[in-house]
């Protein structure tokens, strides 16, 4: 009875809090709603106020132009997917590998090496643009996707984050494994990696979103329009078509909506991945 | 256990760290050293004539008014990080209570973070339109006759960018706090649920300190990430109007790829490095005061 | 057991390496299939071309800033049809920071760029400095001065041509003739900024603007003055405190703030105001722009329009007309990459292009500058079936008959930027006129010092 009364007293409060948070959440997504609505309008309707959320004469012309023109967003999407997925998988795996080394093996020079890693984490990418440019040109990978993929395989943040996680795994586990005659490789693949799944998922998600949104590197290292990624293609499209705001919003939708769709479908896993991990600093 | 085997096992450390080390060497360390050397040259992109100029670039930096201005703008930009952390914390605490539609709400708050910064920047540019934009339309309709000019004035533009950035980061901070709150014991959270003074006290005195390691992590990574960003600014204002949104990272980009002045660009980027280093060290030292592990 | 551990590790590594190799292959293929000179692989085919095997056509790549569908594609298609031995491909770059960087890095990294269009003298100078522009004085069968007239000389560097300026590049104020007629205002043939200001006041309707400007020619009035009076004084210091610079700032500021006849600059810049659309929809009656307006004004699908467009020259700041120069003359300065393997083929194409091959570009507002080109045909293609929607007399005047001398923009990017940053602060009200002028001067002086 007691519990029941508490719960029923709880309902109005819960409801009120939900409504307030929902209202704020809608404010958060208003930019997206406005973007979609504008992309379907005619130029004259763009700035009508009060906002007409449902355009009087919706037109798909702007979207058609974005997706079917000579520079279709389809290509940009394939490029971005390729770069982000390879980068994500590679970076997560390589980070885990290195993080294990740093966290669980007391090899000589470990601390010095890790200090170098930490200091490199603070180096702004701007420092590296010019030399990387020269390096890529020399290696012949300038203006290829490799110029984004290869550096994308290495994330110092990832090594740092996973090392923190591996440190929290009790040492007894590996010690008993050692006694059974298992080496580091076996411990890594059989014991540590499965334990680290949530942390790996977190890193993978964060890394993917970074690679997906990376505009700066693509801007500097890609020339060929057919190699462009989504952020770069979007910027390029808008610069070439500064004719109307509707087209601009259609292009922005093209850059955003598929991501939102993927997120909506996978949000349970994505957010779980992020929340389950031990991001404990 | 066999000593020899143990030693061999220890050598495996290099094998584990090796692949990553090669990448760090190639894509971080060597370029960093190279760019350090560039600082002392007048190397201009495309121009074959380059020579060592000693400390000229550093002297130029120290008397460059634009450097100080972009430093100031960078600091204003960084304000977005603590603000988005505070808001993210508040939202996380509320969402952690018993609510309806929890999953939907989390998703909506998180959505900005997964979208492409450049695309979003263009949307905000129009929302902020001083004369016809919906934001000012709304402000006027609620009786504010002279709403701010947002991106269009030199005094407000940097803060308008801050708003975009808070909006962008908030969801991420919220999610990470939600994770941290799961580790806090339910009794404490229950106590915090009581509204009014007591709830607020619990929140401030107990929960906030409990999640302080998370706050610390968000602060360090948020500041570093923000200080490196320039994509959204390049997309919508290119540092203007005037130079009111020229932040250091953008100033580096402009010098390198607009003026092709690589030597000077390297110099500014190392100044940027020095600033990141100082901020991180300060936080590291300061954490003892407020971070409770 | 231990061995198995090792094995798993190596297998995983091999897997990663395999993925890498796989994707690297794809990356290159993407570049090749793209065909616009990606990756390194094209170098192989380039050297094959260089050896000049019979039957294999020479392939040229021309980089320009005009969208292919606005003429260049038709130009190269026409050439390719008649010249099976020399096939030209057009590559578009956007004429902004990123676009120019793209072109410059392409040349730096030795990718195929045989011909490229420069749109400003400062860009050309940088490229000449780096040895990318071929000195055309080696070719004696084409007299640029004779063909292109006296305006071409503005493009000379140290007395030599490193390219051929190909188009008449007109800059003008486009006018909504219907609105002018309604207000009983004549189409001016020579006017000052004060007169334009009056026009704008009379033409302003309600909340709208009387005059808008494209950002590209926005700063031209200052350059018009300084190209005559000098960017530096006799003692080598900045001349940005020229009284006419002040005059320009005052006039526009008055228009933005007192008259409210032109948009505040902050609003225009941070909303990327689509000025062509605003003008062509009839919202604003006067637009300061260049010949590229015709690309949009001939396009009735995207820009339906129900009024006639008339043209006026860009107004001058000075009271008297005798020292006045206007921007323009001729532009689209096409250079041959000195590192190209086919400079001779590129030269043949360039001559053909300049002497009329470029005719299809006229539809986008780019008339050939060469006296050998068929101007009447070009004009016809310029106006297309929309000839009735333009005021022919004033069009002829700004494009052909106006004999005002011209200058070519040749200010370094750094100076362009420092000026615009300071005047933006002035127009936005965050600094006074005196602060603006002194900031411009001191930053210009600092630039002159470091550039030395």
* Interchain contact, C101 vs B130, CB within 8 Å: no
Neighbour tally for B289: CB within 10 Å:
6
Burial bucket for residue B20 (CB in 10 Å: 0-12, 13-18, 19+): buried
A129 in contact with C at a CB cutoff of 8 Å? no
Q: How far apart are CA A88 and CA A97, in angstroms?
A: 14
A170 in contact with C at a CB cutoff of 8 Å? no
Question: Does residue A191 lie in a domain region?
Answer: yes
B152 in contact with C at a CB cutoff of 8 Å? yes
Pick the residue from chain C with its C-alpha nearest to A226: C34
The CATH topology of domain B62-121+155-290 is: MetI-like fold (1.10.3720)
Alpha carbon distance, N-terminus to C-terminus of chain B: 36
Measured in angstroms, the CA of C39 and the nearest CA of chain A are apart by 6
Residues, chain B: 293
Task: Characterize C5-31 residue by residue with b for buried, 16 or more Cβ atoms within 10 angstroms of its Cβ, and e for exposed.
Answer: beeebeeebeebeebbeebbeebbebb
* Interchain contact, A17 vs B94, CB within 8 Å: yes
What CATH number does residue A191 fall under? Answer: 1.10.3720.10
What is the enclosing helix (H) or strand (E) of C30? helix C2-34
Q: Does residue A13 share a domain with residue A104?
A: no
Tokens 């995983």, located at residue: C12
Q: pLDDT digits over B13-52, tens only? A: 898 999 999 999 999 999 999 889 989 988 887 777 778 8
Contact B129, B216 (CB under 8 A): no
Highest mean pLDDT: which range of A5-19, B132-146, C243-257, C402-416:
C243-257
Test mutation, C36, C38, C91, chain A, max A CBs within 10 A: C38
Of the candidates A3, A223, A194, the residue with the CA atom closest to the CA atom of residue A100: A194
The strand order across the sheet containing C286-290 reads: C212-213, C286-290, C171-176, C309-313
**Residue C330 phi, psi dihedral angles, 5° rounding:** -130, 150
Q: pLDDT digits over C286-328, tens only? A: 999 998 898 889 888 878 899 999 999 999 998 888 888 888 7
B153 in contact with C at a CB cutoff of 8 Å? yes
- The whole-number average pLDDT for the span C113-127 is 90
Question: pLDDT at residue C2 above 50?
Answer: no
- Residue B119 CA to its chain's centroid (Å): 18
B221 in contact with C at a CB cutoff of 8 Å? no
pLDDT band at C52 (very low <50, low <70, confident <90, very high): very low
Neighbour tally for C292: CB within 10 Å:
19
Question: pLDDT at residue C26 above 70?
Answer: no
pLDDT band at A8 (very low <50, low <70, confident <90, very high): low
Question: pLDDT at residue A244 above 80?
Answer: no
Q: How far apart are CA C163 and CA B242, in angstroms?
A: 35
Question: Does residue A281 lie in a domain region?
Answer: no
Judged by DSSP in three states, A201 sits in helix
Q: pLDDT digits over A153-205, tens only? A: 999 888 988 888 888 888 887 788 777 777 888 888 888 888 888 788 878 88
State the pairing for strand pair C171-176/C309-313.
antiparallel
Q: Does residue A55 share a domain with residue A71?
A: no
| Subunits close to B (at least 3 CB pairs below 8 A) | A, C
Q: How far apart are CA B5 and CA A182, in angstroms?
A: 11
Residues of C with CB under 8 A from a CB of A: 1-2, 4-6, 8-9, 12, 16, 19-20, 23-24, 26-28, 30-31, 33-34, 36-40, 67, 69, 94, 96, 98, 102, 105-106, 108-109, 111, 272, 274, 276-277, 281, 296, 302
State the pairing for strand pair C86-92/C58-64.
parallel
Q: pLDDT digits over C346-374, tens only? A: 999 999 999 888 988 888 788 888 888 88
* Interchain contact, C5 vs A181, CB within 8 Å: no
What pLDDT shows up at residue A192?
Answer: 87
Confidence (pTM): 0.85
Question: Does residue A142 lie in a domain region?
Answer: yes
Q: pLDDT digits over B54-103, tens only? A: 899 999 999 999 999 999 999 999 999 999 999 999 999 888 877 888 88
Judged by DSSP in three states, B91 sits in helix
Of the candidates A189, A207, A178, the residue with the CA atom closest to the CA atom of residue A273: A207
DSSP string over A143-183: TSTHHHHHHHT--HHHHHHHHHHHHTS-HHHHHHHHHTT--
Handedness of CA C375, C379, C380, C382 (dihedral sign): positive
Pick the residue from chain B with its C-alpha nearest to C439: B65
Of the candidates C342, C335, C334, the residue with the CA atom closest to the CA atom of residue C133: C335
B72 in contact with C at a CB cutoff of 8 Å? no
Q: Does residue A95 share a domain with residue A41?
A: no
Of the candidates B281, B291, B272, the residue with the CA atom closest to the CA atom of residue B78: B272
Q: Where are the domains of chain B?
A: 3-58, 62-121+155-290
Q: H helices within chain A, ranges in order?
A: 2-39, 61-68, 73-104, 110-122, 125-139, 146-152, 156-167, 171-179, 184-186, 193-195, 197-213, 216-221, 230-240, 245-276
Question: pLDDT at residue C16 above 80?
Answer: no
The CA–CA distances, whole Å, from B245 to A23, B80, C215, C438 equal: 31, 14, 19, 22
Of the candidates A236, C222, A158, A145, the residue with the CA atom closest to the CA atom of residue B234: A236
What pLDDT shows up at residue B64?
Answer: 92
Q: How far apart are CA B28 and CA B1, in angstroms?
A: 40
Q: Is B220 left (phi over 0), alpha (psi -120 to 50) or beta?
A: alpha
Handedness of CA C249, C251, C255, C259 (dihedral sign): positive
Report how many Cβ contacts below 8 Å link chain A to chain B: 293
What is the enclosing helix (H) or strand (E) of C367? strand C367-368
Test mutation, A8, A98, A124, chain B, max B CBs within 10 A: A124
* Interchain contact, C111 vs A143, CB within 8 Å: yes
Peptide bond into A50 cis (omega under 30): yes
State the pairing for strand pair C326-327/C171-176.
unpaired
What pLDDT shows up at residue C373?
Answer: 82
Strand partners, B261: B44
Q: How far apart are CA A240 and CA A251, in angstroms?
A: 12
**Helix %, strand %, coil % of chain B (to 5):** 75, 0, 25
What is the enclosing helix (H) or strand (E) of C290? strand C286-290
Test mutation, B4, B6, B23, B215, chain A, max A CBs within 10 A: B23
Of the candidates C409, C432, C437, C424, the residue with the CA atom closest to the CA atom of residue C268: C424
- The whole-number average pLDDT for the span C129-154 is 87
Q: Above pLDDT 90, what percent of chain C? A: 48
Q: pLDDT digits over B175-203, tens only? A: 889 888 877 777 666 665 555 666 777 77
Q: Report the domain count for chain A.
A: 2
Question: pLDDT at residue B122 above 90?
Answer: no
Q: How far apart are CA C100 and CA C301, in angstroms?
A: 31
What is the enclosing helix (H) or strand (E) of C312? strand C309-313
Q: Which one of B20, B124, B138 has the shortest CB-CB distance to A97?
A: B20
Rg of chain B on CA atoms, in Å: 24
A170 in contact with B at a CB cutoff of 8 Å? no
| Subunits close to A (at least 3 CB pairs below 8 A) | B, C
Q: Does residue A254 share a domain with residue A198?
A: yes
Burial bucket for residue C57 (CB in 10 Å: 0-12, 13-18, 19+): middle
Q: Does residue A98 share a domain with residue A54?
A: no
Query: CA angle B241-B246-B250, nearest 5°?
Result: 130
Residues in chain B with CB shorter than 8 Å from the CB of C425 are 154, 241-244
* Interchain contact, C428 vs B131, CB within 8 Å: no
Range of the domain at A46: 2-59
A245 in contact with B at a CB cutoff of 8 Å? yes
Predicted complex ipTM exceeds 0.90: no
* Interchain contact, C270 vs B257, CB within 8 Å: no
Question: Does residue A252 lie in a domain region?
Answer: yes
Neighbour tally for A10: CB within 10 Å:
13
Of the candidates C276, C303, C302, C298, the residue with the CA atom closest to the CA atom of residue C287: C276
A107 in contact with C at a CB cutoff of 8 Å? no
Residues in chain A with CB shorter than 8 Å from the CB of C1 are 181-183, 186
What is the enclosing helix (H) or strand (E) of C288? strand C286-290
- B-facing residues of A in 89-148 (CB < 8 A) are 94-95, 97-98, 100-102, 105-108, 110, 113, 116-117, 120-132, 134-135
What pLDDT shows up at residue A6?
Answer: 56
Alpha carbon distance, N-terminus to C-terminus of chain A: 44
Strand partners, C58: C86
Measured in angstroms, the CA of A135 and the nearest CA of chain C are apart by 11
Q: Above pLDDT 70, what percent of chain C? A: 88
Pick the residue from chain A with its C-alpha nearest to C302: A243
Measured in angstroms, the CA of A146 and the nearest CA of chain C are apart by 6
Burial bucket for residue B270 (CB in 10 Å: 0-12, 13-18, 19+): buried
Contact C223, C411 (CB under 8 A): yes
The CA–CA distances, whole Å, from A190 to A90, A177, B190 equal: 19, 10, 39
**Residue B265 phi, psi dihedral angles, 5° rounding:** -60, -40
DSSP string over B127-188: HT-TTT-HHHHHHHHTT-SS---GGGSTTTHHHHHHHHHHHHHHHHHHHHHHHHHTTS-HHH
Residues in chain B with CB shorter than 8 Å from the CB of C265 are 241
Q: Does residue A209 share a domain with residue A115?
A: yes
* Interchain contact, B46 vs C130, CB within 8 Å: yes
What pLDDT shows up at residue A62?
Answer: 83
The CA–CA distances, whole Å, from C87 to B89, B110, B243, C29 equal: 63, 52, 46, 22
The strand order across the sheet containing C58-64 reads: C86-92, C58-64, C115-118, C330-336, C164-168, C367-368
Structural domains in chain C? 49-168+329-373 (3.40.190.10), 171-327+401-451 (3.40.190.10)
- The whole-number average pLDDT for the span C27-43 is 34
Measured in angstroms, the CA of A19 and the nearest CA of chain B are apart by 9
Q: How far apart are CA A41 and CA A51, in angstroms?
A: 11
């Amino acid at each position: 009875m007691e519990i029941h009364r508490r719960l029923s007293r709880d309902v109005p409060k819960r409801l009120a809090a939900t409504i307030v948070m929902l209202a704020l959440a809608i404010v958060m997504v208003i930019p997206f709603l406005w973007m979609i609505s504008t992309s379907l309008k005619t130029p004259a309707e763009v700035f009508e106020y009060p906002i007409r959320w449902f355009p009087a004469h919706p037109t798909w012309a702007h979207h058609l132009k974005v997706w079917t023109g000579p520079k279709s967003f389809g290509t940009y999407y394939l490029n971005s997917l390729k770069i982000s997925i390879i980068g994500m998988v590679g970076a997560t795996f390589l980070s885990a590998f290195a993080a294990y080394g740093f966290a669980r093996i007391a090899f000589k020079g470990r601390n010095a090496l890790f200090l170098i890693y930490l200091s490199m984490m603070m180096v702004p990418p701007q420092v590296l643009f010019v030399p990387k440019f020269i390096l890529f040109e020399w290696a012949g990978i300038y203006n290829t996707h490799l110029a984004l993929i290869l550096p994308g395989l290495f994330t110092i943040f990832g090594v740092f984050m996973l090392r923190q996680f591996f440190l929290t795994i009790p040492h007894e586990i590996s010690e008993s494994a050692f006694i059974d005659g298992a080496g580091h490789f076996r411990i890594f693949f059989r014991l540590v990696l499965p334990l680290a799944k949530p942390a790996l998922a977190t890193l993978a998600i964060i890394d993917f979103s970074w690679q997906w949104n990376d505009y700066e590197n693509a801007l500097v290292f890609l020339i060929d329009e057919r190699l462009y990624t989504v952020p770069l293609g979007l910027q390029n499209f808008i610069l070439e078509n500064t004719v109307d705001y509707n087209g601009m919003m259609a292009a922005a939708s093209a850059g955003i909506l598929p991501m939102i769709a993927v997120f909506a479908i996978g949000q349970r896993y994505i957010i779980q991945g992020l929340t389950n991990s031990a991001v404990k600093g | 256990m066999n000593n020899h085997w143990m030693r061999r096992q220890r050598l495996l450390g290099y094998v584990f760290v090796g692949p990553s080390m090669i990448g760090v060497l190639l894509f971080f360390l060597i370029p960093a050293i190279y760019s350090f050397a560039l600082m002392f040259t007048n190397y201009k992109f495309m121009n074959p004539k380059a020579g060592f100029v000693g400390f000229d670039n550093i002297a130029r930096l120290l008397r460059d008014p634009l450097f100080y201005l972009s430093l100031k703008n960078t600091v204003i930009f960084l304000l977005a990080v603590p603000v988005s952390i505070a808001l993210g914390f508040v939202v996380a605490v509320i969402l952690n209570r018993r609510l309806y539609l929890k999953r939907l709400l989390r998703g909506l708050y998180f959505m900005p973070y997964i979208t492409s910064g450049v695309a979003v920047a263009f949307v905000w540019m129009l929302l902020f339109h001083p004369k016809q934009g919906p934001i000012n339309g709304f402000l006027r309709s609620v009786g504010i006759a002279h709403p701010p000019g947002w991106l269009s004035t030199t005094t407000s533009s940097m803060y308008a960018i801050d708003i975009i950035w808070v909006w962008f980061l908030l969801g991420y901070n919220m999610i990470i706090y939600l994770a941290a709150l799961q580790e806090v014991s339910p009794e404490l959270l229950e106590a915090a649920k009581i509204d009014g003074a007591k709830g607020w006290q619990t929140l401030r005195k107990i929960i906030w300190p409990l999640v302080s390691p998370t706050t610390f992590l968000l602060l360090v990574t948020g500041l570093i990430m923000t200080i490196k960003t320039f994509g959204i600014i390049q997309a919508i204002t290119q540092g203007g109007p005037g130079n009111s949104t020229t932040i250091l990272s953008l100033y580096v980009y402009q010098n390198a790829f607009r003026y092709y002045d690589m030597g000077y660009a390297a110099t500014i980027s190392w100044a940027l490095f020095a600033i990141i280093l100082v901020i991180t060290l300060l936080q590291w030292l300061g954490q003892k005061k407020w971070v409770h592990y | 057991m231990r061995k198995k551990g090792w094995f798993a590790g190596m297998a995983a590594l091999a897997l990663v390496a395999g993925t890498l190799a796989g994707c690297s292959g794809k990356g290159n293929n993407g570049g090749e299939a793209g065909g616009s000179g990606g990756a390194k692989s094209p170098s192989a085919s380039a050297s094959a071309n260089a050896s000049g095997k019979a039957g294999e056509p020479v392939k040229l790549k021309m980089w320009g800033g005009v969208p292919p569908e606005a003429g260049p594609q038709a130009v190269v298609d026409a050439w390719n049809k008649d010249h099976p031995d020399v096939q030209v491909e057009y590559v578009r770059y956007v004429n902004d920071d990123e676009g120019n960087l793209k072109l410059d890095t392409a040349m730096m990294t030795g990718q195929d760029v045989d011909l490229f269009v420069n749109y400003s003298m400062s860009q050309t100078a940088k490229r000449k400095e780096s040895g990318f522009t071929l000195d055309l004085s080696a070719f004696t069968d084409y007299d640029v001065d004779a063909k292109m007239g006296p305006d071409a000389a503005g493009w000379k560097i140290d007395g030599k041509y490193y390219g051929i300026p190909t188009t008449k590049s007109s800059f003008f104020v486009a006018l909504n003739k219907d609105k002018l007629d309604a207000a009983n205002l004549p189409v001016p043939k020579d006017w000052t900024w004060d007169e334009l200001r009056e026009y704008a006041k009379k033409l302003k309707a309600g909340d709208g603007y009387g005059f808008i400007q494209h950002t590209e020619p926005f700063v031209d009035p200052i350059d018009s003055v300084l190209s005559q009076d000098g960017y530096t004084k006799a003692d080598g210091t900045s001349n940005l405190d020229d009284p006419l610079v002040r005059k320009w700032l005052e006039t526009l500021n008055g228009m933005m703030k007192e008259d409210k006849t032109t948009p505040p600059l902050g609003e225009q810049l941070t909303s990327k105001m689509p000025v062509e659309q605003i003008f062509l929809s009839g919202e604003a009656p006067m637009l300061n722009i260049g010949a590229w307006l015709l690309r949009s004004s001939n396009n009735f699908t995207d820009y339906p329009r129900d009024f006639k467009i008339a043209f006026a020259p860009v107004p001058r700041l000075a009271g008297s007309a005798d020292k006045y120069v206007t921007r323009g003359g001729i532009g689209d300065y096409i250079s041959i990459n000195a590192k190209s393997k086919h400079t001779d083929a590129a030269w043949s194409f360039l001559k053909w292009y300049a002497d009329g091959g470029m005719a299809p570009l006229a539809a986008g507002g780019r008339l050939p500058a060469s006296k050998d080109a068929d101007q009447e045909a070009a004009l016809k293609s310029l106006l297309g079936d929309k000839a009735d929607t333009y005021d022919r007399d004033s069009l002829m005047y700004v494009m052909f008959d106006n004999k005002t001398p011209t200058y070519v923009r040749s200010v370094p990017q750094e100076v362009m930027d420092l000026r615009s940053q300071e005047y933006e602060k002035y127009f936005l009200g965050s600094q006074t006129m005196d602060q603006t002028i002194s900031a411009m001067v001191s930053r210009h002086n600092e630039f002159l010092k470091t550039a030395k």
